[in-house]
Structures are given as C-alpha cells and as structure tokens.
C-alpha cells in the first residue's frame, strides 16, 4: 500500500517536470498568484527539479522572477533540448517533399 503511494508521487513529479517543456502548461497556470511574474516557488510547484541557477539564467532583467517573455524564451529553449519528434512526424516530413 505504502509503496504504491510513493510510486505515484514519483510518477507525478516526473510528469510535472516534463510538463514544463510542453505547450500544455501555460504561463497563467504557473503564475498562481496572478502577478504576471513567475517566482522560483511557482516554477517549483510544476517542475521541482528546476535549479535556482537555471531559473536565474533566464531572468533577463535579474528581478528574481520570470516575466512571460522570459518564460517563453526558457520554454522554447527547453523544447529544443527535449525534441518530441516522433517517427511518424519524421515520415510526414519526408512525404511532403
Ligand atoms: Ca506569480
Ligand atoms: Ca525577470
């Protein structure tokens, strides 16, 4: 029983980490207090494995939080790092040529 709970918690954390790189998570979903800035705490709520170093690297104006623009830059970078290209998508590309 206990093992099941721990495993689902791990699965939930893994899912949250992956979700940040995907378009499904909107800026407004992460900005839980609605001030149009993402604090590190708000980012951690959806992606606990984000380091402070990574967070501040995309805080372009160094105000300690990410604006929507800063978050977009970051999520685009993350999307590049974790290609979601499926074999089907590659085949579609070839067929169009
Ligand atoms: Ca906020
Ligand atoms: Ca900022």
Angstrom distance (rounded) from CA 37 to CA 19: 19
Contact between 38 and 30 under an 8 Å Cβ cutoff? The reply is yes
Cα of 65 vs centre of ligand 2, distance in Å, is: 5
**Nearest ligand to residue 64 Cα:** 2
CA of 57 to the centre of ligand 2 (A): 10
Ligand lying closest to the C-alpha of residue 56: 2
Q: 2-96 adopts what CATH topology?
A: Recoverin; domain 1 (1.10.238)
Question: Each residue of 42-92: pLDDT tens digit?
Answer: 999 999 999 999 999 999 999 999 999 999 999 999 888 876 566 676 777
Q: How far is the CA of 32 from the centre of ligand 1 (A)?
A: 6
pTM for this prediction: 0.61
pLDDT-derived band at 8, boundaries 50, 70, 90: low
**What are the contacts of 28-31 at 24+ separation with CB within 8 A?**
30/71
């Amino acid at each position: 029983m206990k093992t099941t709970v721990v495993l689902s918690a791990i699965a939930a954390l893994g899912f949250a980490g992956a979700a940040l790189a995907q378009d499904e998570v909107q800026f407004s979903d992460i900005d839980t207090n609605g001030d149009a800035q993402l604090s590190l705490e708000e980012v951690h709520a959806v992606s606990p494995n984000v380091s402070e170093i990574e967070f501040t690297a995309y805080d372009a104006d160094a105000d300690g939080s990410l604006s929507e623009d800063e978050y977009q830059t970051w999520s685009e970078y993350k999307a590049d790092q974790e290609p979601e290209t499926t074999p089907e998508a590659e085949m579609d590309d070839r067929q169009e040529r």
